[in-house]
Amino acid sequence: MNLEGLRVMGIDPGLTRCGLSVVQAGRGRAIIPVSVGVVRTPSGHELTERLLRLSKAAQEWMDDYNPDVVAIERVFERGNVSTVIQTAHAVGVLMLAAAERNVPVYSYTPSEVKKAISGNGRADKKQMTAMITRILGLSEAPKPADAADALALAVCHCWRAPALARTQQQGAWPSS
């Protein structure tokens, strides 16, 4: 299945730092980087203000880059309930921004992304950053790690999209 030209927005959600990226699928497994960045919200500000800032940033990116799909990291238990809850709030407003534009959203666990990018579901941040830099042919590694993670999510979806599209054609679209 050829999905050349598919534009994917990758989001590494976080309340303090949220990685955003946009890539475009090329021929085969080639991926063209379009943009990458990080939205920061001050930890001393009210939660509602921080969530609004994240939402507005995501909306601006979607309006500027017009992605066909969003790939976002699935919230998982990290041991700190407070962190999980804050990340879940961020995920909610980011998914809403996509839903308001009728942009489909797919969620991937960190281990799914690591496996897709490096072949190792337990790859560390350094290995993931090196792999994403190489895959995208970047002259330097994206920084901070949230930016590299957002790119990895987008690339992961590009590589999984053909199988997902085949599943959709067979009438059994997986829930995301």
- Output the pLDDT for position 82: 82
User: Mean per-residue pLDDT for 149-170?
Assistant: 88
pLDDT tops 80 at residue 169: no
Residue 118, both tokens: 């490096």
Helix axes 110-118, 145-169, angle to 10 degrees: 90
- What is the Cα–Cα distance from 10 to 69, expressed in whole angstroms? 9
pLDDT recorded at residue 110: 94
pLDDT at residue 2 above 90? no
149 annotated active-site: no
166 has pLDDT over 90: no
pLDDT band at 176 (very low <50, low <70, confident <90, very high): low
Q: What is the pLDDT of residue 172?
A: 56
Q: Is 146 a catalytic residue?
A: yes
Catalogue the E-assigned strands of the chain. Answer: 7-12, 17-25, 31-40, 69-73, 105-108
Tokens of 1: 């299945």
Q: What is the mean pLDDT of residues 97-124?
A: 96
Which of these is catalytic: 12, 60, 68, 124?
A: 12
Query: Can you read off the two tokens belonging to residue 60?
Result: 């601006």
Q: Is the pTM of this model over 0.85?
A: yes
Sorted by where each begins, the domain ranges of the chain are 6-163
73 is catalytic: yes
Q: Which of 46, 49, 124, 146 is catalytic?
A: 146
Give the annotated binding-site residues for Mg(2+). 12, 73, 146
35-93: pLDDT as tens digits = 999 999 999 999 999 999 999 999 999 999 999 999 999 987 667 788 889 999 999 99
> Taking 70 as the threshold, does the pLDDT of residue 175 lie above it?
no
Higher per-residue confidence, 111 vs 171: 111
Point out the catalytic residue in the list 49, 60, 68, 73.
Answer: 73
Res 163: pLDDT: 81
User: What residues form the annotated binding site?
Assistant: 12, 73, 146
* Position with higher pLDDT, 110 vs 167: 110
Q: How confident is the model at residue 1 (pLDDT cuts 50, 70, 90)?
A: low
One of 3.30.70.141, 3.40.190.10, 3.30.56.10, 3.30.420.10 is the CATH number of 6-163, namely: 3.30.420.10
